[in-house]
Structure 1
Amino acid sequence: MNDGFGPPPRSRAMRRRVVVFSAVFLVCALLSLAYTFSRPAVYQAGAKVQVTPQIRSAVNDAAAQQDNTQAFLVEMQVFTSRPLLEKVAARLKERGRQLGPADETDPVPMLQQMLTVDPLVGTNVAQIEAHGPERLLVADLVNTVIDVYREEQVRGGEEDSRRLLADAREEARVMDTRVAERRKAVEAFRLRADIVSAERDENQVLARLKGMGTSLAAANDREATAEGRLRAIEQAAAEGRLAPLSKDNPTLASMEQRLSQWREEWRALERQFTPNYLGMDPDARALKMRIDSLEQQIETERGKSLQNALAIAREELAGARAASKRLQQQAAEDRQSVQSFSRNFGEFKTMQDELDGLEKLRQAAQQRLMALEASENTRRPRVQVLERATTPESAWRPLYARDAAIGVAASLVLAFLAVWFVEFFNRVEAVPAAPSTVLVPQPWMPYPDPRLAPATSAAPLLARDLGAADAATDLPLLAQPLPRELHATEAEALLAAAAPQDQPLLACLLCGLRPAEIATLRAANVDLAAGTLVVAGDSRRVLPLPAAWLEAMQADKSADAWLFPGPDGAEMQPEDIEALVTSSAHDAHLVRPHEVTAETLRHTYIAHLVRQGLRFSELSRLVGRLSAEALNRLAALAPASQRVSLDAVETLLPGVRQWVASAAGSEA
């Protein structure tokens, strides 16, 4: 109970907070600062060296480059290897440097812990760093490692170069000896097998066999031709027809010509006179007798011609058969010798291929030897110091100032948390507040005009209260409600319920195109190869669309054809597009379908982009130019987070993307 002399309760609580805060802050700060400044200082010194390892191969190919990369990585391990560090430790001791405790006999592990070698990616440059408690030792250690490594690489590179040259010369000598021996063996086998040339057709046995085969084929053809001709003549004789050779008989042709003339004269007489008169006329009887006599002579001549043709055909067939038989016997006699020659020739070709392989190996060995001799100096390892290590002036770690500031800040936070923790268990029960005063509005108090209210969720109500005519003129632009926005399921249902030929047009509206832009599209605006749709006009832009849409839009149309023709095949009018949207909305059973217009579909797409945080400056690349008033109205839909670029947003509506996936699945 306060008697008027002691501090009030609030002052005692404040004193408690000060005591807790000061105690916790001082303890934590002292502990953190003691830990920070008790840590020993670590110094760092670094150097950059360019290491070009010895080139083992003189041929500049991909394999040699890969080997050089591996050799560079191997060289990085040499910097921290025991043999090299033992020489470094000995040189440092000669200079009077203290390497660790005095009783330590092997300083190499300590040096390995102090050194780090990091190759720079994509180069043959290495960053060599040393960390240690002695400021003068770290820089001397890095520079000594570089000097010892350079001396070892120069000495080892000369030895490797001499060894590579000796190996290359020995390889070239061995290959020369083997090639000479193999060439001598091939030449001896060629003379023994009587092989004239490495070309198969140029050898006498094979050439004779080839000519014999050609002659035998020709003889078989002649035999078949003669046999066919004989059968044709015999068949003609059996059927009473003229033999093929009888047509070439000049005597028979002359007799047939005279017979034809006399028969014409006889038919002419028969047309002029009666048979009784012709039987009494001596000239007519003589003509009749000549015709009969000539017909008998022709028959006799035809028989003789047929017999002559048969004799000639039989003789030709016998001669062809005899020639074919003789060639077959000769081929059978030479077959064994040809087989033997073929075996020898195959073995000769095998030996020749082996000789060619050895020749290639010998040439490769000689090329390597010449390349090694020409590039002996360039292949030696090189070490170039880009930046030598210098003695550090300040400690690398710990950063005393930074760590001390972190410790003090953490102590401050812990002190505030301690005060809150203490006050949490010392809370005073709250006193009930006095009754609040309620102000009753009076009739004489002024009220703001509701038409001047800011754009809120009640904007449609204000517009409805003012009437349709007043809403468009009296409300400010920012207070006017935005067009209706379709949900993803509504967009998918709208596309699914539309006719197949109308789905691409609705999809274009859901991708931000205006009805006037859709009406002017032609088949030439579709680029199937690039997968884009070129929108012409004042808001010209290129829209990437799925390939299935573009193929459905074009559908083998000519370049000048309308992409979406009207009912009569002419240009589609905006009212036709609005009618199509309204009918599709009714077919999809959307809520309030009379409110769904082409502007509704376009606004749905624009709102989808704005809600993802797309920059307003890049919005025109997809939907065309927008007025400043439209952008101000759309700003209410944008998130409060940072704006993103066009590459970071999803350019298709979720409902459209789901409809495309379902359509692709149904086609599959």
Structure 2
Amino acid sequence: MPFNKVDYIPNMPNGGYDPIAAQEQQKIQTKRWQVLVGTFLFVMILANLFIWTRAPEYQSQAIMHFAYTSQNAEELDYIAQQQLSLNQKRLTSNSTLQALSTKLREDHLIDLNVQQLRDMLSATASETGKIITLQTTGPAPGLLEDVLQQWLSLYISLLEREKLSNGSDEELQYQQQLALLEQKITEQKHVVEAFSEANNIISLERNENIIPNKIKGLSNSLDEAEAQKAQALAELDSLNASLASGQQVERPTDRPSIDANRAVLQALEGELSALSERYTQQYLQRDPEVVAKQQKAKALKEELANQIADSQLLYLQDSQRNLAASVGKVNSLQAQLADFQDQAQQFNQKLAEYRRLDDALKDLQLQAKTLNNQLVEQEVSKPFDAKISILEPPFTPEFPVGPNYWQDTLISIIAAIVCAVAALLLFSFIVRKSSSNLGSTNFVVLPGEQRGQPYSKLPGAHQAQLEAKAQALRLGEQQSHQPQESLQPQKSPQPEQENIRLLTTDECQALYRVANKQAKLVIGFLLSGVNITELRQITKADCLLGEAKLNITGAYARQIPLAGQLIIVLEQLCEMLKDDDLLWLNPLSVEDFNQLMINAAHDAELPYPDQPSGEVLRHTYLTYLVSQGVRLNDLEQVAGYLKPVELGKYRAVNRHGKSVDIEQANTIFPYF
């Protein structure tokens, strides 16, 4: 009768997992790491020893500029470039370096041969800028400036001697005269500047200097002060004339308040006049309001008269003070102006002397300009005699220009990584895992074993036959191979491996039924995703009884759901325990846990009762998860750490349907 579902359980040679092959593979992997790390460290240390033991190099340089009078003429520019290239080659020629070596040895006690100088010195020409850059490189910064300075002076003196030998005496004479004139011009400039600073002379124009400006300013101020004096005097005379004629004079600042009082008085007098027309004088004298208004009008008249008198007096006093202040200001300015007139006469004399010094300076500059024109005419007549100027003199370097230690270190690290990877690839090519001793891969065929379905639910008479065959495949391979090995004694013996038994759902349920409380916990935990090495560390605090979960701590921390039957057993065992107490009465080892399961297997009368162990239960649980479609990389979320070799056993397990997420799978084995 055909079956729709078939599970494949990988069965290694001899029916199980090969620990010796795994150990050999672990050794090979360790050697690979050793080759990788060793090659990397060897190359990196060797390269860095070479990099960091090198002495730093310093560099000094000087820049020579060659000015040609014909450099703007296109037909002559090519010849000027040839001259520049010729100078560059002569700078590093053997004769020049030989002369430099002799000069350094005799004058400066520096012993450098031609080859050493050739390694130290370099000359680079730039035809576009008409410059030659001279450079010295070496580990001694103090020596570089001296060598470069002597090299530069030697070559310039060589060119000067060649000019003399070519009949350029007249040009040299012009240059000497021009140098002398430039020196005199510099001295005369210092004299003119010192004279101008000592006498506060800013310009040759008289009015642009300090003292004439001050005199001009004082004159303008005196004119303004005299105008103010005349105005104050006229105002005082007008005020006195008005007072003499009996006119009322009011100070402008008091006029608003006087006008306000006058308006109030006029309004009050108007009211009294209107009342006198309407009533008799006897009635008005008896009316208290009218009497009060009359008294108020009388008081206002007196107050207004006093206010006008005070205003006239204050106005007169203010005018007198203004006149006195104007007179004082005029007198002060006249005194200052008289003082500055004497200084102005002295300044005029100094200014005349300053003009004479400036005229002498201009005469020297005119002579220098004329001589320079004559020199240019001489240079034009010899277009390829360059005028050499030093744009940058030699200097003592303060910091090295190389080598770049950190850049070279980075390159050495990259090279070490490449060498290490190459060595690893070569080692992997030479040392390969021998596959001939492992034999071919067999599979245990378990029809109908899907999602924990027991053999008892298979149809027909195939149940007993298939269960017997599967049991033989799981348990009997080691015994069946023994006669064959005895018949072939000439072959080298191979290590025998322990079979990993796959329990059925009925066998797991039988184990759980007959087990004691501690064994029930061990079986339930292992068939829920707990690693056997994690059993020893479980405490009462890890048992989340209210949530029906088990908390696993450590590197692969997780929470594992538990079945309700197991929670009942946990509550009974945890009743007398503290939070930090282990679940076990005495500390148990892995062998102790295995013995608990073997005892339960004997009590359940299972076939081959000595084979059930923690590894068997874990293998049964992982096969149960994978058969549901759980991905291999998701097993660690429930079952904890799995070695890659151990995880690879489950690649051939038949997954009934598509892969599912771990959250969609039933993570509790039906052991109850």
TM-score exceeds 0.5: no
TM-score normalised according to structure 1 size:
0.28
TM-score normalised according to structure 2 size:
0.28
Larger Rg: 2
